[in-house]
Structure 1
């Protein structure tokens, strides 16, 4: 059984970037859904695209959902 890695997207900073943490490790700062999708692919989560990021119930959005970048 595959384990689910916790994904947390933090509130936007002053530049509109949001830190992305997967399985306890900060992977970087995202400036859009495509950036988050790329971080998740690099973390080993396959078949991820912007629609997945926007709709996934596995992502904890802090400080606003996938439409908040400022």
Structure 2
């Protein structure tokens, strides 16, 4: 049986922040990749070992790791 995705990153909100959840717990609202990696570190994952495009670990909803704005023209 395949392991479930551990991290879910929700679509950008009106201010461009993305809610991040790991193992069912909300970690916070990331405003960019730095915030996201810090949340992973606090959750016990080593940011140096995490590929932000790893579909087995991270589910990106409405865009991938390059999308931090609710308006696609503002990336």
Give the TM-score taking structure 1 as reference length.
Answer: 0.80
Query: Which stretches in structure 2 are left out of the alignment for 5+ residues?
Result: 70-75
Match of 1:12 in 2: 12
Count of aligned pairs between the two proteins: 66
Query: Which stretches in structure 1 are left out of the alignment for 5+ residues?
Result: none
Larger radius of gyration: 2
Give the TM-score taking structure 2 as reference length.
Answer: 0.75
Which stretches of structure 1, 4 residues or more, deviate above 6 A after TM superposition?
none
In 2, distance between residues paired with 1:5 and 1:59? 6
> Post-superposition shift, 1:34?
1.0
